[in-house]
Amino acid sequence: MPVSMDTLVSLSKRRGFVFQSSEIYGGTGSCWDYGPLGIELKNKIKQVWWREFIQRRADMVGLDASIIMHPNVWKASGHVDHFTDPMVDCRECRHRFRADALEGLPWLHYCPATKGNKFTIPAGEPCGHCGARRTQCPDCGKGELTAPRQFNLMFKTFMGPVEEDAALTYLRPETAQGIFVNFDNVLQSMRRKLPFGIGQIGKSFRNEITPGNFIFRTREFEQMEIEYFVNPADRVDGSPADEYWHERWIEDCLAFFERYGLTRENLRLREHDKEELAHYAKRTVDVEYRFPIGWSELMGIANRTDFDLRQHAKWSGKSLTYFDEERKEHVVPYVIEPAAGVDRMLLAFLVEAYREEEVRGEKRVVLRFHPALAPVSVAVLPLLKKREDIVRMAQAVRNDLARHWTAYYDDTAAIGRLYRRQDEIGTAYCVTVDVQTVGDSEKGERGDDKVTIRDRDSMEQIRVPRAEIASVLRELLGGENWARVAGRFPPE
Ligand code: GAP
């Protein structure tokens, strides 16, 4: 059975992945804090994305632009005029909704055909008794809704000590604009030729009318965005370059998700129809994931044309063009934009990893993360906490491994319980130091200096010489198949 959002919220809190922000004050709506394991997972997602899309590719470079930008950026980009959602309020209970999302909500109904009995009717359906459709507030069922009014989603702030209009600016609602305004800086400083891309990871802020569903929709979130600049006059494989690269980026993003553990049957593409397209887009395709709330957007991949560069050139008075040496002409590049949310991606990896299994009659909760994403790569566990020599060696092994990976030491329970705890947080491998490793000096028995490495998914174990732990883990965490590695260390 697919995991529910409630299960994930509760596991996230219990095991230190995600906490509600300012919880001791009653929490803030839609803001979340990443705990010790959550930040490891989040950092690893960002690391693999950066490595795959920025560092490994010869046609990509990175950037880290500031969150607060010149206010004209947001006029030029169209955010001041267009970055709005239609909002309605209930006159009775004062709850606030996005007008365009109302039909997707279940609604409360006091049915006249059943003496005013109260029913919750599924989204978009009429009442089964009286046939009425929703006209009032879906939450209280009584209040009239106001007419929709446009609400700008940007957070306003003031630069400088005086709250005057001149200093009004915004927290960025997307990282993309930081890339567009630096297009020429990167072009000149890095001597790039088209096609090339600039990637960026950073916080964005949107005053969402209806945030919710845990970390799926929040007001403060992190994005990983790429702006890939192409020459629209070029053709590749018989197609205009922008259309060719749009397809390539869709394939590359899907391959990335699959490589790091999302299964193809939980991923699908959704083409935006004409009415839905953003004002700047020629074509947009969403990658959707089957979240516990149903199929929903994981990321968007848009063809933004030359809209942004032209707008910024117009508003700033600076030329934002590329000189095409072959054709001897200045061109304004088109842009393909793969735009993903870190928090939403983390949620997808969490959903996909979660399993409840039965092991020898007991329930085992395990997070089957890709080894490169596991918040803890390796846990080192002493079999006997009472034996000082075992504890000492286990701690030394942990310290050694911690130079390369996130390595935890834990001796607060018996080994069976320790394994379960590590499974529940998705630790890829456990290393156990036992009596056989260190021997027994009182009995004059020498240890074999080997440790046990346990695989989280198969729960199989191999004994490996201490000197080889790091090289074996390097192979395993690098993605090498457990069975192949285990074959080199048969049971003695
Ligand atoms: N620059 C284009 C852009 O920002 P978007 O579709 O609005 O496009 C891209 O956002 C991605 O950012 C989304 O697919 C989603 O993963 C993430 N995202 C957007 N709004 C979000 C929110 N309120 N909370 C969490 N993630 C969000």
Query: Does the Cβ of 30 fall within 6 Å of ligand 1?
Result: no
pLDDT above 70: percentage of residues in the chain = 99
What pLDDT was estimated at residue 442? Answer: 83
Q: Which long-range contacts (CB under 8 A, 24 or more apart) does 47-52 make?
A: 48/260, 48/372, 48/373, 49/201, 49/224, 49/256, 49/340, 50/199, 50/201, 52/256, 52/259
Instruction: Write down the residue that tokens 């690269």 correspond to.
Output: 245
Q: How many residues does the chain have?
A: 492
Residue whose CB lies within 8 A of the most ligand 1 atoms, among 69, 83, 174, for a mutation test: 174
What is the tens place of the pLDDT at every residue in 113-128?
A: 999 999 999 998 999 9
Q: Which of 34-43, 46-55, 140-149, 398-407 has the lowest mean pLDDT?
A: 140-149
What is the tens place of the pLDDT at every residue in 416-442?
A: 999 999 999 999 999 999 999 999 888
Q: Which residues on neighbouring strands pair with residue 271, listed in sequence order?
A: 285
Closest atom of ligand 1 to CA, residue 217:
24
Instruction: Write down the residue that tokens 């735009």 correspond to.
Output: 339
CA triple 270-49-473, angle to 5 deg: 125
Which residue's CA lies nearest to atom 21 of ligand 1? 217
What is the pTM (predicted TM-score) of this model? 0.92
pLDDT-derived band at 271, boundaries 50, 70, 90? very high
Largest interatomic CA distance in the chain: 88
Amino acid identity of residue 181, one-letter, is V
Q: What is the mean pLDDT of the chain?
A: 95
Burial class, 301, CB count within 10 angstroms (exposed 0-12 / middle 13-18 / buried 19+): buried
Mean pLDDT of 350-373: 96
Residues 6+ apart with CB under 8 A from 43: none
What pLDDT was estimated at residue 30? Answer: 84
Query: Does the Cβ of 306 fall within 6 Å of ligand 1?
Result: no
